Structure 1
Amino acid sequence: MRRLLLTLALLVGLAAPAAAERIKDLGTWSGLRANQLTGYGIVVGLAGTGDDSLEYATQAMKGTAQRFGFDLPPGINPALKNAAAVMITADLPAFAKPGQKLDITVSAIGKAKSLRGGTLLISPLRGADGQIYAMSQGSLAVGGLGVDGKDGSSVIVNVPTAGRIPGGATVERAVDAGFATAPTLVFNLSEADLTTAQRVAAAINAGGAQARATDAVSISVTAPPGAEARAMLMSMIENLSVDPAEAPARVIVNARTGTVVINGAVRIKAAAVTHGKLTVAVQEQTRVSQPQPFSQGRTRDENQSAVSVSEEHRPMFEVKRTANLADIVKAVNAIGASPADLVAILEALKQAGAMTADLVVL
Structure 2
Amino acid sequence: MRLFVTLTLLLLPLSGTPAAEVRVKDITDVEGVRQNQLVGYGLVVGLNNTGDKLDNAVFTRESLVGMLERLGVNTRDQITKLSTKNVAAVMVTADLPPFARTGSRIDIAVSALGDATNLTGGTLLVTPLLAADGEVYAVAQGALTTDAIAVKGSASSVVRGVPTGGRIANGATVEREIRFSFADQSALRLSLRNPDLTTAHRIAAVVNRSFAGTAAVLDPRTISVNFGGRDPLDMMERIGEMRVQPDTSAKVVVDEASGTIVMGANVRISTVAIAQGNLTVRVTETPEVSQPNPFAGGRTTVVPRTDIQIDDGQNRKLGVLNTGVTLRDLVTGLNALGVSPRDMISILQAIKAAGALQADLEVR
TM-score (norm 1): 0.83
Contact 1:276 1:311 in 2 (8 A): yes
Whichever residue aligns with residue 132 of structure 1, its letter is: V
- Given the alignment, which residue of 170, 195, 200 partners 2:203? 200
Q: Which secondary structure does the structure 2 equivalent of 1:344 belong to? A: helix
Q: State the AA in 2 paired with 1:39.
A: G
Query: Shift of residue 31 of structure 1?
Result: 1.0
SS in 2 for 1:221: strand
Stretch of structure 1 that moved more, 163-172 or 138-147: 138-147
Query: Which is further off, 267-276 or 79-88?
Result: 267-276
SS at the partner of 1:277? Answer: coil
- Which residue matches 2:250? 249
**Residue 345 (structure 2) pairs with residue 343 (structure 1):** yes
Deviations 1:18-69 (A, max 9, x none): 8221100111001100000000111111111111312111111112112212
Would you identify which runs of 4 or more consecutive aligned residues in structure 1 move more than 3 Å?
A: 177-183, 278-286, 305-310
Q: Is 1:324 matched with 2:323?
A: no
Aligned residue type for 2:43:
I
Deviation per CA, 1:141-167: give whole Å up to 9, x if none.
110122233x36322111111111100
The answer for the alignment partner of 1:296 in structure 2 is: none
Give the CA deviation at 1:211: 1.2
- Cα RMSD of the aligned pairs, angstroms, is 2.9
- C-alpha separation between the residues in 2 aligned to 1:124 and 1:224? 42
**8 Å contact from structure 1 (residues 113, 146) kept in 2:** no
User: Unaligned regions of 5+ residues in structure 1, if any?
Assistant: 1-16, 287-302
For the 8 Å contact 2:123–2:141, the answer to whether it is kept is yes
> Contact 2:138–2:175 (CA<8 Å) still a contact in 1?
yes
Q: 1:152 to 1:113 in 2, by over 3 A?
A: farther
Is 2:142 the partner of 1:141?
no
Aligned to 2:231: 229
C-alpha spacing 1:335/1:18, structure 2 compared with 1 (3 Å): closer
Cα deviation digits, residues 64-119 of structure 1 (max 9, x gap): 11221222142424223111111100000111110000000111111111111111
Alignment counterpart, residue 107 of structure 1, candidates 98, 102, 111: 111
Once the two structures are overlaid, the 10-residue window that deviates more, 262-271 or 167-176, is 262-271
Instruction: Determine the structure 2 residue equivalent to 1:272.
Output: 273
Cα drift, residue 229 of structure 1? 3.1
CA distance 1:46–1:281, change in 2 (3 Å): closer
Equivalent residue for 2:173, pick from 170, 175, 192: 170
Q: What does residue 123 of structure 1 align with?
A: 127
The aligned amino acid for 1:101 is: R
Q: Alignment partner of 1:28: what SS?
A: strand
* Conserved? CA contact 1:224–1:230, under 8 Å: no
Structure showing greater relative contact order (alpha-carbon pairs closer than 8 Å, 6 or more residues apart): 2
Letter in 1 for 2:145: A
Aligned length: 330
Contact 2:270/2:357 (CA < 8 Å) preserved in 1? yes
Within 5 Å, give how 1:1-362 maps onto structure 2. Answer: 19-53=20-54, 54-77=57-80, 78-149=82-153, 151=154, 153-177=156-180, 180-182=183-185, 184-208=187-211, 210-224=214-228, 229-245=231-247, 247-279=248-280, 311-313=312-314, 314-362=316-364
TM-score by length of 2: 0.82
**What code does the residue aligned with 1:129 have?**
D
Task: Write the letter of the residue equivalent to 2:159.
Answer: I
